[in-house]
Structure 1
Amino acid sequence: MPAFAKPSSFLRRRPRPRQTQITERRRLVVMLAMALGAFGIGTTEFVSMGLLNLIAEDFAITEDTAGVIISAYALGVVVGAPLITAFTGMVPRRRLLLLLMAAFTLGNGLSLLATNYETLLVARFIAGLPHGAYFSIAGLSAASMAPVAQRGRAVAFITMGLSVATVIGVPAAQALGAALGWPAAYGLVTVIGLVTVAALWVVMPHMTKMRPTNPRTELGALRRSQVWLTLALGTVGFGGMFAVYTYISWTMTERAGLDGSWMWLVLMVYGVGSVAGTWFGGRLSDRNLELGILFSLLMIAIALAAFYVTSTHPVLGVVNFGLIGFFGSSLVPSLQIRLMDVAGDAQTLAAALNHSALNLANASGAAIGGAVIAAGFSYSAPALAGMLLALAAIVLWLPTFWLRRRQLARLSRA
């Protein structure tokens, strides 16, 4: 064969290593690539809220109607998370991560090109479909590659990509959308998705320690009471945070008297709190998983109760809002690890359902906060409603913890 006919070493496909063959440095690079995908997902999820007025103006619709695009994305998350994970158990994890990020990129690319409201709704639904499944597969992959004592930190590292998005990605996309038109914000997310696909293609190893599953195995998670109880802890306990977050602009401007031009700082403080809280939550779950969940719920309740008082002062209110982000985010890694522990062989579906639960918390918390305000109470009052949700989650934690201890005791005697 002539030399010129031989494929170059650059074009020749090199086999990817197994996860058991990679170095600690390579593991960190892989986690950075997966966290970049989480960063893109966090950016597209939250930036839409700040683009509603531009979208409404462009399509000549009301902001209430424009707000349905946020519901369309959330519906995509709730529907996609269980369906994708349940029926893709036989797909190798590396390949599935690439497919999920490709679908995410496609949804945001369609959002960029949408020329009417109906097309944008469909595009946002498509963009939301891989959300929960991606976090599930990426989190489980990170935990599978990490030493057992560092699983919580590994999961938190991936989740931190979403938290960092609230500090960097969302303000950048928001500024781009304001300057060049709302499609530019989705254009930025599309680029992030393409870069993530390329990075995962190059660095992601074959996840040989993650056993394939079938739909029957994955759906078996739904027969486990501990899975449902853990999901309930997330839905109820996390809802209080969104009861406050959804109406924070009105709270800080109407109650605290903060100039609206400073709202970017309020959201950034929340984002910084979320990043720090995710880091803290990972270490908390590695130290003591069950008590870590209780501690986070208790601190969420305290932070929300305090916000009812501090929300009338601009500085104290902003600092307190950051604490709400900190303790709320500290709960996520612990819930993810707990679901992995109680789901048996159905870890993928259980971990994905965690994100469905958190999106339900988003919707229910916003609805409860809105109902409180509609009833004639102040913009500070949703914080008290959120505190009651956190306290209800603590009450729910008690039998959840007790039943889990009984379950482990039975297994140890068997």
Structure 2
Amino acid sequence: MPLALFALTVASFGIGTSEFVIMGLLPDVARDLGVSIPSAGLLVSGYALGVFIGAPILAVITARMPRKLALLVAMGIFTVGNFLCAVAPNYWLLMLARMLTAFCHAAFFGIGAVVAADLVPQNKRAQAISMMFAGLTVANILGVPFGTGLGQIAGWRVSFWAVVLIGLISETALAVLLPANLKMEVPNLAREFRILARPMVLLNFLISMLVSVSLFTVFTYITPILEDVTGFTPRAVTGILLLFGVGMTIGNLLGGRLADWKGAQSLMACLLVLALVLLAFTWTSHSGVPAMVTVTAWGILTFSVVPPLQLRIVDKAVGASNLASTMNQGVFNLGNATGAWLGGFAINAGIGYGSLPLIGAAVAGVALILTLLSESLERRRVPAGGIRVGNS
């Protein structure tokens, strides 16, 4: 794999650490800024909202930029945003800084996925995308625990200063290792937005969103599930979440290889098994070892669908790959917020923590049905002779 891919992976690691480290620091942030823990929790929702809002804005701003420059601009926003987080004097300025930081997220992963795919031969495109996203999953194994521990020892602001340092390293690596002559489509935003409005593209955006809803309906409340339903101690929960992070990393790399081998078939198979694993978690969550095994398998399957979904969006939106890839990140984060809301709504309606995986399984099942529908429509559009019979 080209060295430029490692630069993208390092940047992805920094973004993932910044996004998730706040979860482990919520009590410290709440105490320092004089707000409740639920209010501090809105900093997570604010980040997801920032990604969703920032996706189209940054897509338009960077549309005519060379791809290398666009990635450097995105990482510049990331670094400045984390600097502002580190020095924010109150809750509301911290919220604004978090949202600013999130603006870079969709643009970086959207453009970065297209760049990663272009850096390698055709038969390794999904593997290249999965390698870039590996930084995001490794952040959950190394960056978040280290950042949380650092923040608890030296203060939560020090964690953000550490992320600023990662941002500077990433910016340097991208500047040095990315080739300057990256392939770039001549942008026509009106035409690109029309491409994004095609039913087939919108259908696959919806599939991406539902995968995220399925994950965050359960994952947002994984700590109370493991503590109150399974009976694990808080320290044990930390270890199990580490297993989930390891599973995410394995699944991400596995998904890249499967997508390059059999893209649509592997996606549908992973979605089917994902739904079954979440269904099983309804029962295994009541027992220690089965719960650990299920959580690890869940992590593998959840991220095994990310590379094929991202590549699928790029392929369905030919002529608007940068914009489509960027918007897919915004859609995925809209799914994050929707899943967290759906899980909370279910709990407030009287559904116990142990039943949340049933909802996640149902949403994954809907994603599978829509993928089957997408493939059926594609086969009708491209008959056996390989000639397209209409626009998607």
TM-score (norm 1): 0.91
Structure 1 residue 394 corresponds to structure 2 residue 350: no
- Is the contact between residue 285 and residue 292 of structure 1 (CA under 8 Å) also seen in structure 2? yes
Residue type of the partner of 1:193?
G
Query: 1:164 maps to which residue?
Result: 138
- Is the contact between residue 4 and residue 178 of structure 2 (CA under 8 Å) also seen in structure 1? yes
CA RMSD of aligned residues (A): 1.4
Aligned counterparts, 1:77-96, within 5 A: 77-96=51-70
- Over residues 85-120 of structure 1, what are the superposed CA-to-partner deviations in whole Å (9 max), with x where a residue is unaligned? 234221001111111101101101100011111110
Query: 1:186 maps to which residue?
Result: 160
More displaced stretch, 107-116 vs 284-293 = 284-293
- Is the contact between residue 381 and residue 388 of structure 2 (CA under 8 Å) also seen in structure 1? no
Structure 1 residue 99 corresponds to structure 2 residue 73: yes
Query: 2:235 maps to which residue?
Result: 261
- Over residues 12-57 of structure 1, what are the superposed CA-to-partner deviations in whole Å (9 max), with x where a residue is unaligned? xxxxxxxxxxxxxxx5211001111100111111111111111111
* Moved >3 Å (runs of 4+): none
What is the CA–CA distance in structure 1 between the aligned matches of 2:158 and 2:262, rounded to whole Å? 44
What is the CA–CA distance in structure 2 between the aligned matches of 1:214 and 1:104, rounded to whole Å? 27
- Over residues 317-363 of structure 1, what are the superposed CA-to-partner deviations in whole Å (9 max), with x where a residue is unaligned? 12211111110101110111111111011001111122112112211
What is the CA–CA distance in structure 2 between the aligned matches of 1:262 and 1:413, rounded to whole Å? 54
Aligned counterparts, 1:32-71, within 5 A: 32-71=6-45
- Is the contact between residue 68 and residue 182 of structure 2 (CA under 8 Å) also seen in structure 1? no
Query: 1:23 maps to which residue?
Result: none
Structure 1 residue 412 corresponds to structure 2 residue 387: yes
- Is the contact between residue 115 and residue 182 of structure 2 (CA under 8 Å) also seen in structure 1? no
Structure 1 residue 290 corresponds to structure 2 residue 260: no
Residue type of the partner of 1:412?
I
Query: 2:4 maps to which residue?
Result: 30
Q: Once the two structures are aligned, what percentage of the paired residues are identical? A: 36
Query: 1:3 maps to which residue?
Result: none
What is the CA–CA distance in structure 2 between the aligned matches of 1:117 and 1:401, rounded to whole Å? 47
What is the CA–CA distance in structure 2 between the aligned matches of 1:383 and 1:207, rounded to whole Å? 47
CA positional deviation for 1:211: 2.3
TM-score (norm 2): 0.96
- Is the contact between residue 301 and residue 390 of structure 1 (CA under 8 Å) also seen in structure 2? yes
2:306 to 311, 332, 341: 332
- Is the contact between residue 336 and residue 351 of structure 1 (CA under 8 Å) also seen in structure 2? yes
Aligned counterparts, 1:6-405, within 5 A: 28-405=2-379
- Is the contact between residue 124 and residue 260 of structure 2 (CA under 8 Å) also seen in structure 1? yes
> Does the residue aligned with 2:48 lie in a helix, a strand or coil?
helix
What is the CA–CA distance in structure 1 between the aligned matches of 2:349 and 2:194, rounded to whole Å? 42
Q: How many residues align?
A: 388
What is the CA–CA distance in structure 1 between the aligned matches of 2:100 and 2:263, rounded to whole Å? 34
Residue type of the partner of 1:205?
P
> Does the residue aligned with 1:269 lie in a helix, a strand or coil?
helix
> Does the residue aligned with 1:288 lie in a helix, a strand or coil?
helix
More displaced stretch, 354-363 vs 102-111 = 354-363
- Is the contact between residue 67 and residue 184 of structure 2 (CA under 8 Å) also seen in structure 1? yes
What is the CA–CA distance in structure 2 between the aligned matches of 1:284 and 1:40, rounded to whole Å? 26
What is the CA–CA distance in structure 2 between the aligned matches of 1:113 and 1:238, rounded to whole Å? 32
CA positional deviation for 1:413: 5.5
- Over residues 173-215 of structure 1, what are the superposed CA-to-partner deviations in whole Å (9 max), with x where a residue is unaligned? 0001111111111111111100000111111102442223132
In structure 2, relative to structure 1, the CA distance for the partners of 1:413 and 1:390 (3 Å cut) is: closer
> Does the residue aligned with 1:61 lie in a helix, a strand or coil?
coil
- Is the contact between residue 271 and residue 367 of structure 2 (CA under 8 Å) also seen in structure 1? yes
What is the CA–CA distance in structure 1 between the aligned matches of 2:182 and 2:230, rounded to whole Å? 54
Q: Which runs of 5+ in 1 are unaligned?
A: 1-26
> Does the residue aligned with 2:353 lie in a helix, a strand or coil?
coil
What is the CA–CA distance in structure 1 between the aligned matches of 2:382 and 2:212, rounded to whole Å? 27
CA positional deviation for 1:384: 0.3
